[in-house]
């Protein structure tokens, strides 16, 4: 055996790894590289979201019809309580209030479902996370995409309700597309944020329904915020109208419903909608990426 010293003698573990091109297993890639990995998994993200959507109601006899029936039943309950009993329509005609309410329920359900799916995206798929190597952001993004597909299916019913109450197709209906894009970006960012938080705090899934219910009541799903708060200080209505859930609901109502004009929207509403989408989508993606190497461990 030769006693000659090795050229690697005296090198630290870090120096040895650098010399031979070794890297820590599961280390977080750079942000640009991570985005490239995500783009490479785009087919997986789409296929996974479609599979989850198909499996969601596979045990129910009505199957995919529950995608539409659930928000419609919620809208019926809210109409009975807020429209008939509490008179939350506050002067709106029946032709405006019912599409107003159904639109609010459908649009807010899109955000609510994305958040709840995001909370469980990592914690509920630990087997997949630990077994396969892929960008973990694929999971919350695919869940947000699943909820978008579900909303698109439900939009058919929303169109029928709008037409049934006198809001016929017009050029403003084209605004539905940018509204959906902006809300999807916002929801995806929220799903990424909640996925990271839920991966370490499983009890968050039990708390979030209460948070979402509070957010729903504060966002004007069942009533017009400025009309309902007309007797209160104006700044309260302004704060509630600027919250992103209310912004996307009101933009969808403006696009879809005859008689719901721009006077119901806060100023610079499109800029605010775009700002919320960009801030939460980009911020949520970076926030999730920073913990990439920790998902599925411990």
Q: How far is CA 62 from CA 49, 57, 286, in A?
A: 20, 8, 40
Q: What is the DSSP letter of 259?
A: T
Q: What tokens appear for 210 in the block?
A: 């209460």
Query: Is the pLDDT higher at 216 or at 85?
Result: 216
Over the stretch 52-72, which tens digit does the pLDDT of each residue have?
887 776 666 666 677 777 777
pLDDT above 50 (res 250): yes
Question: Given this model, what pLDDT does residue 82 score?
Answer: 74
Gap between the Cα atoms of 53 and 260, Å rounded: 33
Domain-wise residue ranges, the chain: 28-294
Q: What tokens appear for 111 in the block?
A: 């955000």
- Give residue 10's region: left, alpha or beta (phi > 0; psi -120 to 50): left
pLDDT above 80 (res 4): no
Confidence of residue 297 (pLDDT cuts 50, 70, 90): confident
Gap between the Cα atoms of 13 and 30, Å rounded: 22
Over the stretch 191-224, which tens digit does the pLDDT of each residue have?
999 999 999 888 898 999 999 999 999 999 888 8
Q: What tokens appear for 101 in the block?
A: 């309410």
Angle, helix 244-256 to helix 234-242, in steps of 10 degrees? 80
- Supply the pTM of this predicted model: 0.86
Confidence of residue 23 (pLDDT cuts 50, 70, 90): very low
Quickly count helices (H) and strands (E) in the chain: 13, 0
Gap between the Cα atoms of 156 and 189, Å rounded: 26
């Amino acid at each position: 055996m030769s006693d000659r010293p090795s050229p690697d003698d005296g090198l630290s573990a870090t120096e040895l790894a650098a010399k031979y091109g070794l890297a820590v297993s599961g280390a977080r890639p750079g942000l640009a590289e991570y985005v490239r990995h995500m783009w490479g998994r785009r087919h997986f993200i789409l296929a996974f979201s479609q599979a989850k959507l198909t499996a969601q109601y596979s045990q129910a006899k009505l199957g995919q019809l529950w995608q539409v029936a659930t928000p419609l039943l919620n809208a019926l309950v809210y109409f009975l309580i807020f429209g008939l009993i509490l008179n939350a329509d506050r002067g709106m005609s029946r032709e405006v209030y019912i599409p107003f309410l159904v639109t609010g329920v459908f649009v807010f359900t899109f955000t609510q479902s994305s958040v709840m799916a995001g909370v469980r995206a990592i914690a509920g798929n630990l087997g997949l996370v630990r077994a396969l190597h892929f960008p973990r952001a694929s999971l919350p993004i695919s869940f947000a995409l699943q909820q978008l597909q579900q909303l698109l299916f439900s939009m058919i019913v929303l169109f029928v309700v709008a037409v049934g109450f006198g809001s016929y197709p017009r050029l403003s209906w084209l605004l539905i597309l940018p509204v959906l894009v902006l809300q999807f970006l916002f929801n995806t960012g929220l799903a990424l944020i909640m996925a990271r938080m839920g991966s370490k705090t499983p009890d968050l899934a039990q708390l979030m329904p209460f948070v979402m219910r509070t957010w729903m009541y504060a966002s004007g799903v069942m009533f017009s915020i400025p009309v309902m708060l007309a007797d209160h200080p104006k700044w309260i209505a302004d704060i509630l109208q600027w919250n992103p859930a209310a912004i996307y609901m009101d933009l969808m109502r403006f696009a879809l419903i005859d008689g719901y004009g721009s006077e119901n929207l806060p100023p610079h509403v499109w800029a605010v909608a775009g700002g919320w989408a960009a801030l939460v989508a980009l911020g949520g993606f970076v926030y999730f990426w920073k913990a990439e190497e920790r998902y599925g461990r411990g």
